[in-house]
Structure 1
Amino acid sequence: MDIGKLNKLGKAIDEIEEGQSMSVTEAIEDNQILLYLGLTNDANPLYIQHDYAQKTIYKKPIVPSVLLMGIVTSTISKHFPGPGSHVVNFSVNFVEPVYHYETLTFLFEVIKVDKHKDIVTLSVEAVNIKEKRVLDAVVMVQPPMLYEESEENNE
């Protein structure tokens, strides 16, 4: 990556319409969970210890909730609206636990475009391969915007 180079921007607010949608499928692997645990120093045995998890209502280790939120924000940053986007509000409901090695499909849909506030509101739903809903979220995103200096500022 060239630091001095302007990378491609995602969709500007004028390019986004209510009803637009996209989906992304992610397989949850051990390396993602271990990276999360290492980066956050989260030592919750429910996330990694089979013996411990077996004694809980979950019966086996579950995926940390924040890791699922990371998939949502990463998709926003990479694809929809894309590079340069900034999440300004995130409301999420974890409907069902997600277990290691599950494959999830996240559906993103634009439910509101507020051009006065430069905010796009996305609805996100994640389901597992059994089509069971595991996550619902509403995410408010500021699409990418470039700062343009006016001639007044240059004088």
Structure 2
Amino acid sequence: MLGKKRPLGKELNEIQVGDTYSETKKMDDRDLLLYLGLTGDANPLYLQHDYASLTAYEKPIVPSVMLFGMVSSLVSMSLPGPGSHITQHEMTFPAPVYHSTTVAFTLEVIAIDYQNKQVAMSVTGTNHENEIVVRGKLYVSPACKPNSLTAKSLENFF
């Protein structure tokens, strides 16, 4: 990682209402197993086909917190980008996401609060049937460039 400069994301003054970012992500079994191993979450609804077939979902689903993790990644890597931080979120998951499903996520800046140095963003996620599977609102503190004598030591990151 060191040796190659990594640009910080957009600062507050570089963001405009209406800015958007979209990306699709596939819910791979590998990623699901990594999440479950990391958290120790062994909910049979996420893993066991026999159990899930007896529920209203009919087959295993992706944990909603894993979907939020993908949204968080889009914020911290794309809009506003590296150096940003989600300070508050309101998320709903109106329809289940099944294993191997591709979800199209869209982030949009809907308001800018200069006084509190944050932006409000809407997020939506749709599956291949154009059904909304994620809907929410995020408050994000965008990146800000360090302004100190020690900032030079972090030059690989901006």
The normalised TM-score by structure 2 is 0.90
Counterpart of 1:25? 24
Counterpart of 1:124? 123
**Separation in structure 2 between the aligned mates of residue 127 and residue 117 of structure 1, nearest angstrom:** 31
1:50-99 deviations in Å (ceiling 9; x for gaps) = 01101111110000001100110000111110000011001100110110
**Separation in structure 1 between the aligned mates of residue 15 and residue 146 of structure 2, nearest angstrom:** 19
SS, match of residue 55 in structure 1: coil
Counterpart of 1:153? none
Q: Gaps spanning 5+ residues in structure 1: where? A: 151-155
Between the two proteins, what is the percent identity of the paired residues? 46
**Separation in structure 1 between the aligned mates of residue 4 and residue 56 of structure 2, nearest angstrom:** 50
Counterpart of 2:50? 51
Count of equivalent residues: 149
The normalised TM-score by structure 1 is 0.92
Aligned-residue offset at 1:145: 1.0
Counterpart of 2:156? none
Is 1:61 the counterpart of 2:60 in the alignment? yes
After TM superposition, the structure 1 stretch with the greater mean CA deviation from structure 2, 26-35 or 140-149, is 140-149
SS, match of residue 56 in structure 2: coil
**Separation in structure 1 between the aligned mates of residue 7 and residue 114 of structure 2, nearest angstrom:** 22
**Separation in structure 2 between the aligned mates of residue 126 and residue 10 of structure 1, nearest angstrom:** 22
C-alpha root-mean-square deviation of aligned residues, in Å? Answer: 1.4
- Counterpart code for 1:142: S
Q: After TM superposition, list the pairs within 5 Å mapping 1:32-43 onto structure 2.
A: 32-43=31-42
Aligned-residue offset at 1:37: 0.2
Q: Gaps spanning 5+ residues in structure 2: where? A: 150-158
